[in-house]
Structure 1
């Protein structure tokens, strides 16, 4: 097997397991990703987030609508440009993100359990270098491009 196949095989396996884990919180992986992203960049405009995620605005708006209806995120008018909405985590969104962290950490630990700490650091560094070489946006899963609201 080549490296590309192994990466695809492990990526598919990891994505499926993560989806199962976050389903326990009534989340999809893209919703979990948006919560994490908003924690790190509160107040980003919907347009900026859609662009960063590689998601067309026509899909991003209903995606956020679903999360807003659940009380996880809120839109606020941008004080500098009232045509834009800035997105923020709500208290419920923050709380859910706190529940998500241990699941994500367990997921990472399970996937890398056969590696020593040095092997883990080395693998992570090599994968980061490969992703950077392909101009992949750090922290953004390519699956966002095909997200459909649920």
Structure 2
């Protein structure tokens, strides 16, 4: 049985043909950097960062989530999350309580004020998404979502398994 390539049909493994402007990770980074610039200014008016806005929106969707789960869902390192939660608590947007079922865990809750700010963040986030998707039809949006889901699945778990990329890279010797 012939081994299947680790890259899409018709693409080179390096996938930098055409320069960085056509390199998908670079394209994603550029898009998100531009979008984050706009979002940062919008969320700053609420006194929070883009990452803190993401936390508030997750808390709106998932009340009483454990801090560890929040860290995973937001893709934010635990030490940075702790700092951000302290900032949000100082602003009166959240409060934390020990999980009665697991005393070593902390649950995070929105306050009434935090819920209002989280709803503002949701509205801003919807406007940001509309900006990103301007000119797309429903089929293109569904395809983009499916593609992004597949890409996320491809990278999920790499932190625990270790990066496969060093083994794929050619050495110069």
Same fold (TM > 0.5): yes
- The reply to whether residue 49 of structure 1 matches residue 64 of structure 2 is no
- Per the TM alignment, residue 132 of structure 1 is displaced from its structure 2 partner at its CA by 1.5
Which is worse superposed, 34-43 or 92-101? 34-43
- The reply to whether residue 30 of structure 1 matches residue 51 of structure 2 is yes
- Separation in structure 2 between the aligned mates of residue 16 and residue 83 of structure 1, nearest angstrom: 37
Structure 1, residues 3-47: CA drift from partner, whole Å, max 9, x if none?
423222212112222212212222201111111122222222323
- The reply to whether residue 11 of structure 1 matches residue 45 of structure 2 is no
Pick from 86, 97, 120: which aligns with 1:76? 97
1:82 aligns to what SS in structure 2? coil
- Separation in structure 2 between the aligned mates of residue 130 and residue 55 of structure 1, nearest angstrom: 19
Give 1 or 2 for the bigger CA radius of gyration: 2
2:109 aligns to what SS in structure 1? strand
Q: Is the 8 A contact 2:55 2:74 kept in 1?
A: no
2:117 aligns to what SS in structure 1? helix
- The reply to whether residue 59 of structure 1 matches residue 59 of structure 2 is no
The residue that corresponds to 2:135 in the other structure is 114
The answer for unaligned runs of 5 or more in structure 1 is: 137-150
- Per the TM alignment, residue 104 of structure 1 is displaced from its structure 2 partner at its CA by 0.9
Structure 2 vs 1, CA of residues 48 and 91 (structure 1 numbering), >3 Å: closer, same or farther? same
The residue that corresponds to 1:130 in the other structure is 151
The residue that corresponds to 1:105 in the other structure is 126
- Per the TM alignment, residue 51 of structure 1 is displaced from its structure 2 partner at its CA by 4.7
- Per the TM alignment, residue 128 of structure 1 is displaced from its structure 2 partner at its CA by 1.8
- Separation in structure 2 between the aligned mates of residue 128 and residue 93 of structure 1, nearest angstrom: 29
- Per the TM alignment, residue 68 of structure 1 is displaced from its structure 2 partner at its CA by 0.6
TM-score (norm 2): 0.69
Q: Is the 8 A contact 2:57 2:121 kept in 1?
A: no
Detail structure 1 runs of 4+ shifted over 6 Å in the superposition. none
Q: Is the 8 A contact 2:54 2:74 kept in 1?
A: no
Structure 2 vs 1, CA of residues 98 and 2 (structure 1 numbering), >3 Å: closer, same or farther? same
Structure 1, residues 48-95: CA drift from partner, whole Å, max 9, x if none?
433554544433322211111111000122222334321101101111
Number of aligned residues: 136
